[in-house]
Amino acid sequence: MNKLALLGALALSLLSPLSMADEAKPVRIGIEAAYPPFAMKTPEGAITGFDYDIGNALCAEMQVKCVWIEQEFDGLIPALKVRKFDAVLSSLAITPERLKSVDFTNKYYSTPARLAMKTGTVLNDPLADLKGKKIGVQRASIYDRYATAVFAPAGAEVVRYSSQNEIFLDLTAGRVDATLADVVNIDDGFLKTDAGKGFALVGPDYTEAKYFGDGVGIAVRKGDKAMAERFNKAIAAIRANGKYQEVQNKYFQFNVYGE
């Protein structure tokens, strides 16, 4: 073996254990546990939901331990950037705006946005019919961005909250007239509950990629291609081996992954 080859082999022998150690380290994942059915708390205070179960399935596929760290939604990306956790798995849509500051894996689900208002409300022209109405949105969400860019200039008042659950409370109390949010979250987290009686989905699906992105993915720090690729391989694996379907069927009666 010549000297160059010997040095190369020595370098590989020194680097491989470090690389393997990184692969085996627990993965710290940021989540907001106030977004049913994707993430919420049990009566005992444990995190549960689709996002949580999918994350645990991905970690099992990667043969690493998931360490879940709770964070308010508008602080998830800032906390990721300062290394409070390694990834965010909390129903974050893959949008052009967010891609300026973080990277994303491939999508792991895709659902449209909808408006919820009092039953019987008809929106023939949402921009005209929402003029003067108060629309509740979760702060720093894609729904906030859309409502601010589209509904507000048409005369609607955008009211921002730290969690979607707070919006549902104010909707039932009459402090806001509508909320724009994920259709599944509205349906499961509000309309199917006692508090949601007297309210319904109104208007069209909102899916414009400029605002709502290309599905929901796992956010990682800018340039962390290794972490993104590990998750991508795991997403493909659980889609292929039936684990994704198993988790999906626990929460939904439809294909939440989308096309």
pLDDT band at 10 (very low <50, low <70, confident <90, very high): very low
Contact 218, 102 (CB under 8 A): no
Give the pLDDT confidence score for residue 2 in this predicted structure. 53
Average pLDDT of span 222-250: 98
Which of the following CATH numbers is that of domain 113-212: 3.40.50.1820, 3.90.1660.10, 3.30.540.10, 3.40.190.10? 3.40.190.10
Strand pairing partners for 220? 87, 103
pTM over 0.75: yes
> Cα separation of 86 and 232, whole Å?
15
Would you give the DSSP letter of residue 148?
I
pLDDT band at 1 (very low <50, low <70, confident <90, very high): very low
Give the pLDDT confidence score for residue 259 in this predicted structure. 81
Q: Which amino acid is at 127?
A: L
Topology (CATH) of 26-110+214-251 = D-Maltodextrin-Binding Protein; domain 2 (3.40.190)
Q: Of the candidates 166, 162, 191, 149, which has an alpha carbon nearest to the alpha carbon of residue 73?
A: 162
Give the pLDDT confidence score for residue 176 in this predicted structure. 98
Q: How many CA within 13 A on the CB side of residue 6?
A: 3
Is-cis flag, bond preceding 37, omega within 30? Answer: yes
Give the pLDDT confidence score for residue 159 in this predicted structure. 98
CB 24: neighbour CB atoms within 10 A?
11
Average pLDDT of span 105-124: 97
Contact 161, 139 (CB under 8 A): yes
pLDDT band at 22 (very low <50, low <70, confident <90, very high): low
Give the pLDDT confidence score for residue 24 in this predicted structure. 78
Q: Is the pLDDT of residue 6 over 50?
A: no
pLDDT digits (tens, 9 = 90+) for 51-107: 999 999 999 999 999 999 999 999 999 999 999 999 999 999 999 999 999 999 999
Output the average pLDDT for the chain. 93
* Phi, psi dihedrals of residue 159, rounded to the nearest 5°: -115, 120
> Cα separation of 74 and 140, whole Å?
5
Q: Is the pLDDT of residue 3 over 80?
A: no
Q: Decide which of 140 and 5 is more confident.
A: 140
Among all chains, which residue has been given the structure tokens 């409370």? 169
Q: Is the pLDDT of residue 131 over 60?
A: yes
pLDDT digits (tens, 9 = 90+) for 157-197: 999 999 999 999 999 999 999 999 999 999 999 999 999 99
Q: CATH 3.40.190.10 region(s) of the chain?
A: 26-110+214-251, 113-212
> Cα separation of 93 and 77, whole Å?
12
pLDDT digits (tens, 9 = 90+) for 195-227: 999 999 999 999 999 999 999 999 999 999 999
Among all chains, which residue has been given the structure tokens 């073996």? 1
